[in-house]
Structure 1
Amino acid sequence: MSLGNSPEDERPIPDESQEARPSVGRALQQARIEAGLTVDDVSSATRVRLAIVHSIEADDFTPCGGDVYARGHIRTLARAVHLDPGPLIARYDAEHGGRPAPTPAAPMFEAERIRPERRGPNWTAAMVAAIVVVIGFVGFTAVKGGDGGSRAQVAEGATPAVGRTASATPKKAKPAAPTGEPSDSAIAAAPQDKVTVQVSAPDGRSWISAKDHNGRMLFDGLLKKGESKTFQDSTKINLILGDAGAIDLYVNGKKIDDTFKPGAVERLTYTKGDPVAG
């Protein structure tokens, strides 16, 4: 009679932490919902098609077209919903076989390195060196003769014009290169027949989207801390702020006093007659 453990007792205990951790698609979906964004918002911000966003959130990476494209989509979607893409890509690699190992470099042939090929004397290089020496000697002789002539002229009594060098016209300093973003004074002096909107992130960061009156995309991306963007149109500017509490707005040269809360998503429209939110 055996007193050992039964096969059922030797079964590995499942890791509850691994089971509790959400999948890649589920983590992206939860972060999107917590950020107050719809699938349409994420698709517009990242330019990833709606069908692919839905498939990734359902952990179906087949429409991505391969592991390389799947990792790129995961990284793009994670940044749009304020997630660190590193752990998500590592989890994707662990579940789908990981990255392919690099191809080793071809070994060096020791025989070729030990026995170098014998070469004859390079007569062309010797001729070029000789010509360079001759030209250099001729040039040195000519310069030396010219210096002697100029010294003789000074000795005969011709006073050199020393003051000409001091009275030469000073070089004008080059103007500073214009910056890409107009200043606050430039915004205040903007033409009255247009609407000018400046978006800045002094204390945080936020994803923003800006379109003109024709629906043409002016900017779509992440505005980092300390950065600012200025948009101008003849009729109106349409804005979407992913984190409105981190944004300061200046419309037609005037600061907008808002009560936006951190993390709030705001859709705004400004025209030539503002500052008044549309």
Structure 2
Amino acid sequence: MSIGNSPEDERPFEDVSEEARPSIGRTLRQARVAAGLTVDDVSTATRVRIAIVRAIEADDFTPCGGDVYARGHIRSLARAVRLDPAPLMKQFDALYGGRPAPTPAAPLFEAERIRPERRGPNWTAAMVAAIVAVVGFVGFTAFKGDDGTKDVADGTAPSSSAPATPTTKSDKPAPVKPAPSDSAIAAAPQDKVTVQVSATDGKSWIYAKDHNGRMLFDGLLKKGDSKTFQDSEKINLVLGDAGAIQLYVNGKKIDDDFQPGAVERLTYTKGDPQAG
């Protein structure tokens, strides 16, 4: 009888370490192939460019343009190949340090400066106005007094002014201003496109630019926050979590059924509402 290890003892140990887990790109590629989809199919379904899809499947997230974009693309690709995006998001956060801090918002153009800056009272102007009023009142009183003295000296009684004709108040009530509706956006002008973005159901990353490609906003809207953009021709939007966003375009509510977590790229013009 031989003494030694049994066959069970000679079997290799199963590698369950973190390094043995398939990478994000490899997981997405295997799921795509298993679903019988091509890169073109996934690109068409998610509106993510083919070059970016190939880069992500190769675990190269540089073409995404930042971690925020990468997270949105990974989530979209995972849903397209019928994967739960949550484990991939957790794996991405572990590799790259979690969600980055939102990019500071760029200075907006004139449409973001609808409200004037609040200033304190101008005490100098108020004092000058008060002095002018006092001087005017004293001068008027002195003038009236001189006229009365002259009339008495000449033996002429000062004439009394005719009674003023009583004014009648109109019984017609003043028109009541209608309360602004939720869909009104500061009287959106006809010659421009006005887009209001409100985070009603949660927080979402937002990117907006005008028709010249100039960035208007790049940052995170928390729940309850709202941003308004305006341009002479069109507004381009990217919504990191479209399901948390409510849109008003040219004063009208957009009722598109955006899914929670979906990345949406939209364009609106003066003739909308209609998704671009």
Shorter-chain TM range is 0.3 to 0.5
Calculate the TM-score normalised by the size of structure 1. Answer: 0.44
Higher RCO (CA-CA < 8 Å; seq separation 6+)? 2
Q: Which has the higher helix share?
A: 1
